[in-house]
Structure 1
Amino acid sequence: MSYTDAKTFNPEILYAFDPWNNTIVSHPKHAHDFLEISIILEGQAYYYFDNQWQDIPAGQILIFNPGVIHAERQKENTFSHQLHIGIQNIALHGLARNFLPNPQTQVVIDEYQYKIIDQAWRLVTEINQQENDYRLLTKSIIIEMIVYILRGLEKQQTTARKPFISKTEKKQNQLVSDVIYYLENNYREDITLDQLAHENFVSTTYLSKTFKDTTNMSPINYLIQLRLENARALLKDGESTTTVKQVASAVGYQDAYHFSKLFKKYYGIPPSKIMTY
């Protein structure tokens, strides 16, 4: 079966970094409300999940679905080089939002394991070199890794621990995915809540509640965040002659002053200073 819809599958990458642990470190038990993929690239780490502590050697893949309690320690006289990827805005058919269909936290998926590790090293290279448009390439690599994970799990024909999801929830997930897809492709345009509701054949009240229940923010706040994140990327990667007014216009704001106020509220610094960070 196919878990994805190529039209609306557009995960948001929250972070991707590859720490080296060569001293005794400890991260307490915790859980996320998003998906996290951790890969041991070199050495070995000591992880808590599935109610036990265990050594995890290089080449192993851990998938922490939302709510999965886990912790990590680095033992004395050991080291690890790991890759951690935080992801949200994933909606797979038949699954709750931001879940992958892995029955265990530690996944072993035969030949796909090696393909994922290869992509992990490609990702590390992009993260560290940060060449032009590296964010776009890192996202495409992560998507490829997710596809390999899904293929490997499907080939095993495992019975996943899928959180129960009703037909109503499936429709709600699809509505949210459609709205997000529309926003991500039209955020430069003048968009209203009424317009979004009309195009999706629902009321504004239903759309607002469904969207907020799923993403923890309103459709308009999601739009604002989307615009500001794209503006930040333009400011960081643009030419030195690029002006705040040009960036504001490029992401859908004709009022540069209003844009600057929103940007400072969101990031804590004005857009004119972002080039120095």
Structure 2
Amino acid sequence: MDIQEFNPKIYYAFDVWNPENNANGKHHHDFFEISIILEGEASYFFNQQWQTVRGGDILLFNPGVEHAERQLPKTYSHQLHIGIGSFELEGLSENAFPNQEIILTSQEDQIKVFDKAWQLINEFGHHNINLICKGLIYEMMGLILRCLEQNEQTEPSILSKNERLKQAVQLIITYIENNYAQEITIEQLATTHYVSPTYLSKIFKEVTGVSPINYLILIRLQQARQLLMTEEYPIKEIARAVGYEDAYHFSKSFKKQYGVSPSALRQKNSQEMPR
């Protein structure tokens, strides 16, 4: 691939929440589509059969590949769809990726794809498709190509139950780090990844050393500390920006973590700044 001439067109990029019984009939494209299952599960048709995909799965549809999707009763899904065209990789037909399978085989870089996906969705909230969005999509394409390259170099392996759970933890970490300002509960995280809250807490603590909720608190306070040191927003606004509705509770948690109140940290930081 000549990187100087590589300039794909982004036809669309959007995330959608699909309620139960939602359906999208059989179709195909003349461009490349990435479909990322962010949360929940869905039934997808490809390779002439219906199969279940869940949060953590990345689907790659080359031009001409027939597919469809539907939500079964009592299920939902949150998905990100990206349509890309006007590119050609060496040795492949136009708008095609070198994937043999529709579902991307799990790789370490797959977690990075989800991180970029959440960043992209958060960017939607501020702008339409812009240069930052385009850059994130290009990064996702590069990471997916790296995953496919790694798949070619290694024998496919079946993940053990423990490995799958650890991968779920990494996906939850990515979710928390990109959605810390929203209301997040252990029950929500567990339901999304099809494990019990108790078991999720256990495996999460084994991987990170802390519980999911304590990890969420840590991320919120780290973000708040950064804002306090770099921005002049009122403390109440900073509390809300990182997911705290109650400024008093925020201040109490902040002082417990850092040994100093938010206002004291801000004052100390302003005194130390060069004049």
> If the length of structure 2 is used for normalisation, what is the TM-score?
0.54
Following superposition, the deviation at residue 109 of structure 1 comes to 3.7
* Alpha-carbon distance in 1 for matches of 2:74, 2:126: 29
1:155 aligns with 2:150: yes
Instruction: Find the counterpart in structure 1 of residue 72 from structure 2.
Output: 75
1:37 aligns with 2:42: no
1:141 aligns with 2:151: no
Instruction: Find the counterpart in structure 2 of residue 93 from structure 1.
Output: 90
Q: How does 1:63-212 map to 2 (within 5 A)?
A: 63-130=60-127, 135-157=130-152
Following superposition, the deviation at residue 12 of structure 1 comes to 0.2
* Alpha-carbon distance in 2 for matches of 1:6, 1:115: 21
What secondary structure, in the 3-state scheme, does the structure 2 residue paired with 1:7 have?
helix
* Alpha-carbon distance in 1 for matches of 2:47, 2:132: 33
Change (3 A) 1:158 1:107: farther
What secondary structure, in the 3-state scheme, does the structure 2 residue paired with 1:106 have?
coil
Q: Could you give the per-residue CA deviations for residues 54-86 of structure 1, whole angstroms, max 9, x where no partner exists?
A: 110001000000000000001111110000000
Instruction: Find the counterpart in structure 2 of residue 223 from structure 1.
Output: none
Letter of the 1:143 counterpart: Y
* Alpha-carbon distance in 2 for matches of 1:44, 1:158: 30
* Alpha-carbon distance in 1 for matches of 2:64, 2:133: 26
What secondary structure, in the 3-state scheme, does the structure 2 residue paired with 1:18 have?
strand
What secondary structure, in the 3-state scheme, does the structure 1 residue paired with 2:130 have?
helix
Aligned-residue RMSD, C-alpha: 1.5
1:50 aligns with 2:47: yes
Q: Could you give the per-residue CA deviations for residues 96-143 of structure 1, whole angstroms, max 9, x where no partner exists?
A: 010000001111141011010111111111112217xx5111111000
Letter of the 1:145 counterpart: M
1:11 to 1, 5, 8: 8
* Alpha-carbon distance in 1 for matches of 2:101, 2:72: 24
Letter of the 1:149 counterpart: I
Letter of the 2:50 counterpart: W
Letter of the 2:46 counterpart: F
Unaligned runs of 5+ in 1: 160-277
What secondary structure, in the 3-state scheme, does the structure 2 residue paired with 1:71 have?
strand
* Alpha-carbon distance in 2 for matches of 1:158, 1:23: 40
- Check conservation: 1:35, 1:86, Cα contact below 8 A: yes
* Alpha-carbon distance in 2 for matches of 1:27, 1:90: 26
Letter of the 2:112 counterpart: K
What secondary structure, in the 3-state scheme, does the structure 2 residue paired with 1:139 have?
helix
Letter of the 1:52 counterpart: Q
Following superposition, the deviation at residue 32 of structure 1 comes to 0.5
* Alpha-carbon distance in 1 for matches of 2:44, 2:97: 20
- Check conservation: 1:22, 1:78, Cα contact below 8 A: yes
Q: Could you give the per-residue CA deviations for residues 126-185 of structure 1, whole angstroms, max 9, x where no partner exists?
A: 112217xx51111110000010011111112169xxxxxxxxxxxxxxxxxxxxxxxxxx
* Alpha-carbon distance in 2 for matches of 1:20, 1:129: 19
Following superposition, the deviation at residue 24 of structure 1 comes to 1.2
> If the length of structure 1 is used for normalisation, what is the TM-score?
0.54
Unaligned runs of 5+ in 2: 155-275
* Alpha-carbon distance in 1 for matches of 2:91, 2:14: 30
- Check conservation: 2:105, 2:151, Cα contact below 8 A: no
What secondary structure, in the 3-state scheme, does the structure 1 residue paired with 2:29 have?
coil
* Alpha-carbon distance in 1 for matches of 2:14, 2:153: 30
What secondary structure, in the 3-state scheme, does the structure 2 residue paired with 1:144 have?
helix
User: How many pairs does the alignment contain?
Assistant: 154
* Alpha-carbon distance in 1 for matches of 2:153, 2:94: 20
Following superposition, the deviation at residue 23 of structure 1 comes to 3.0
